[in-house]
């Protein structure tokens, strides 16, 4: 009898300790049990807890668990529970689940940061740093941050890439697309066929440290000055997306940066008033760029990586349709998803923001408008490339779709990459920094943008 009593006391103590452990365990940890253990009893215990303690904040945990979980039996149970609690029957249509989540008030709590950090740690240990203990250092919804399918710098940026002169670039044909920049007389072309495989380059151009970021999904190439307030930021590809737009990271703090905003959005750099300055990028043909700039340098095929750099190969299927690879919370159907727009904004002066349809600009080779009390004029050449200038009170009446424009007094002006220059007086009208983008991606980043079409 005495032995039975002792055994009961021991069993009771064990149960009490286990109960205390369970009580100390957070809800998100039960979702992680599906990944940290292959034991079905552990899975059943986790499922029972989640079912009994279901709350709205579990929705995003369940969706992301389903997205990564490979255990069919457990996935089926979680999906059934999710559908029962949400009264939605989306099955394994993750785009539908994400749109459901994104189009209502965010319901996740601070533990979601721990869940996201731990879950993605199994993909790349560097990922955990993006999210862990950063719930007070975020300006965007965390449930809109999605893994893009690669590890950190899994799409390798070109660091100080080899450049060659135009005559050496025999691999390029005149109709191939290039992204052209000119900084302090240093003129360069970055062919789309190469940059699409790397999505970023970092270099010093014209004596200025730069990062050129190509978000292939949202059709945007933006060139940023990477020194701000005397601090040099070493940027890379995070592996994550926000509204189908790639997020960058900086190596020192592992903060995540929004590519279209040029700002840190998660991490210790948030709230430091950091916004990188961007420069103009011209999307044009190699033949047109080379004709304007015979002195240009251009990316060499010798990148240090083995890729099929032929024209049109990278993202061929994605560019061939209007479908998205990663969805956004809401589509604006005033233009097709991937219809190109020209982005017009001066973030340090005004909150005004314009997206001008490239089709519209091709019909109007000269287009004048105002932003933040600044008059600007867009000139669209025969290749469809746009150049924008602060034109003050000068009115232009003619443009040869090349390098020469005429004002309403009959004066001629030359279009350069730095300025619009009066051919007689040498008066200069400064370049307006602008770049192209796909409509869906730009509108998702700037929902209040004014569309001109």
pLDDT of 109 above 70: yes
pTM of the full structure: 0.92
Query: Predicted confidence band at 302 (pLDDT cuts at 50, 70, 90)?
Result: very high
**Alpha-carbon distances, residue 353 vs 106, 263, 346 (angstroms):** 26, 17, 8
Cα 134 to Cα 32, 65, 76: the distances in Å are 19, 21, 32
Higher pLDDT, 6 or 233: 233
What 3-state DSSP class applies to 228? strand
Residue 58 CB partners (closer than 8 Å, separation 6+): 27, 31, 50, 85
Comparison of pLDDT for 77 and 24, the residue scoring more: 77
- The answer, yes or no, to whether residue 124 has pLDDT greater than 70, is yes
Whole-angstrom distance, CA of residue 303 vs CA of residue 158:
7
> Domain-by-domain residue ranges, the chain?
26-109, 158-320, 340-452
> Among candidates 382, 408, 379, which has minimal Cα distance to 393?
408
What is the predicted pLDDT for the residue at 289?
98
- The string of pLDDT tens digits covering residues 183-193 is 999 999 999 99
Distances in Å between the alpha carbon of 52 and those of 34, 40, 46, 213, 239?
17, 18, 10, 46, 35
pLDDT on residue 7: 34
**Distance (Å, whole) CA 380 – CA 292:** 14
- Distance (Å, whole) CA 437 – CA 219: 5
Structure confidence at residue 451 (pLDDT): 98
pLDDT band at 21 (very low <50, low <70, confident <90, very high): very low
- 447, with CB counted inside 10 A (0-12, 13-18, 19+), is exposed
Determine phi and psi for 236, rounding to 5 degrees.
Answer: -150, -175
Q: What is the mean pLDDT of residues 118-133?
A: 97
**pLDDT tens digits along 413-434:** 999 999 999 999 999 999 999 9
Size of the chain, expressed as the number of residues it contains: 453
Cβ distance 278 to 433 under 8 Å?
yes
Mean pLDDT of 311-338: 96
Asked if the model's pLDDT at residue 37 lies above 70, the reply is yes
pLDDT band at 24 (very low <50, low <70, confident <90, very high): confident
CATH node for 340-452 = 2.102.10
SS (H, E, C) the chain: CHHHHHHHHHHHHHHHHHHHHHHHCCHHHHHHHHHHCCCHHHHHHHHHHHHHCCCCCHHHHHHHHHHHCCCHHHHHHHHHHHHHHHCCCCCCCHHHHHHHHHCCCCCCCCHHHHHHHHHHHCCCCCHHHHHCCCCCCECCCHHHEEECCCCCCCCCCEECCCEEEHHHCCCCCCCCEEEEEEECCEEEEEEHHHHHHHCEEEEEECCEEEEEEEECCCCEEEEEECEECCEECCEEEEEEEECCEEEEEECCCCCEEECCCCEEEECCCCCCCCCCCEECCEEEEHHHHHHHCCCCEEECCCCCCCCCCCCCCCCHHHHHCCCCCCCCCCCCCCCCCCCEEEEEECCCCCCCEEEEEHHHHHHCCEEEEEECCEEEEEEECCCCCEEEEECCCCCEEEECCCCEEEECCCCEEEECCCEEEECCCCCEEEECCCEEEEHHHHHHHCCCCEEEC
Q: What is the pLDDT of residues 335-368, one digit of tens each?
A: 999 999 999 999 999 999 999 999 999 999 999 9
Q: How do residues 47-60 score in pLDDT, each as one tens digit?
A: 999 999 999 999 99
Do 178 and 296 contact (CB within 8 A), yes or no? no
Residue 5 has pLDDT above 80, yes or no: no
Same CATH topology for 158-320 and 340-452: the answer is yes
Q: What mean pLDDT is reported for the chain?
A: 94
Assess whether pLDDT exceeds 60 at residue 3: no
- φ/ψ of 158, rounded to 5, equals -90, 115
Q: Is the domain 158-320 a CATH 1.10.10 member?
A: no
Q: Is 267 left (phi over 0), alpha (psi -120 to 50) or beta?
A: left
Buried b (16+ CB within 10 A) or exposed e, 417-441: bebbbbeeeeeebebbbbbbbbbbb
Q: In the chain, pLDDT over 90 holds for what percent of residues?
A: 94
């Amino acid at each position: 009898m005495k032995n039975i009593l002792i055994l009961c006391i021991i069993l009771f103590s064990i149960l009490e300790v286990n109960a205390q452990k369970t009580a100390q365990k957070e809800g998100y940890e039960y979702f992680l049990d599906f990944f940290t253990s292959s034991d079905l009893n552990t899975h059943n215990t986790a499922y029972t807890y989640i079912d009994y303690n279901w709350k709205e904040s579990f929705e995003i945990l369940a969706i992301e668990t389903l997205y990564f979980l490979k255990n069919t039996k457990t996935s089926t149970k979680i999906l059934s529970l999710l559908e029962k609690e949400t009264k939605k029957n989306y099955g394994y249509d993750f785009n539908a689940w994400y749109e459901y989540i994104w189009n209502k008030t965010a319901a996740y709590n601070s533990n979601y940061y721990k869940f996201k950090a731990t879950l993605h740690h199994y993909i790349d240990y560097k990922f955990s740093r993006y999210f862990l203990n950063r719930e007070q250092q975020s300006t965007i919804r965390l449930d809109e941050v999605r893994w893009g399918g690669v590890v950190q710098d899994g799409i390798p940026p070109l660091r100080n890439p080899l450049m060659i002169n135009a005559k050496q670039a025999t691999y390029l044909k005149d109709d191939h697309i290039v992204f052209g920049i000119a900084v302090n007389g240093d003129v360069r072309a970055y062919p789309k066929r190469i940059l699409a495989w790397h999505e970023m380059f970092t270099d010093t151009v014209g004596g200025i440290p730069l990062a050129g970021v190509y978000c292939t999904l949202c059709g945007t190439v933006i060139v940023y000055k990477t020194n701000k307030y005397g601090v040099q930021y070493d940027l890379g590809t995070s592996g994550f997306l926000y509204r189908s737009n790639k997020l960058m990271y900086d190596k020192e703090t592992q903060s995540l940066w929004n590519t279209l905003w040029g700002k840190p959005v998660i991490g210790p750099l948030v709230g430091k008033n950091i916004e990188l300055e961007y420069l103009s990028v011209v999307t044009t043909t190699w033949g047109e760029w080379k004709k304007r700039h015979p002195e240009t340098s251009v990316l060499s095929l010798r990148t240090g990586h083995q890729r099929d750099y032929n024209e049109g190969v990278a993202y061929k299927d994605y560019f061939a349709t209007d479908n998205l690879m990663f969805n956004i919370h809401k589509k604006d159907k005033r233009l097709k998803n991937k219809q190109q727009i020209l982005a017009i904004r001066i973030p340090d002066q005004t909150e005004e923001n314009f997206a001008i349809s490239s089709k519209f600009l091709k019909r109007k080779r000269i287009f004048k408008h105002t932003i933040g009390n600044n008059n600007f004029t867009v000139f669209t050449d025969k290749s469809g490339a746009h150049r924008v200038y602060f034109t003050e009170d000068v009115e232009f009446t003619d443009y040869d779709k090349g390098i020469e424009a005429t004002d309403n007094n009959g004066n001629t002006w030359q279009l350069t990459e730095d300025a619009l220059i009066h051919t007689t007086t040498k008066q200069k009208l400064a370049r307006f920094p602008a770049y192209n983008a796909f409509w869906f991606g730009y509108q998702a980043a700037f929902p209040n943008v004014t569309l001109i079409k």
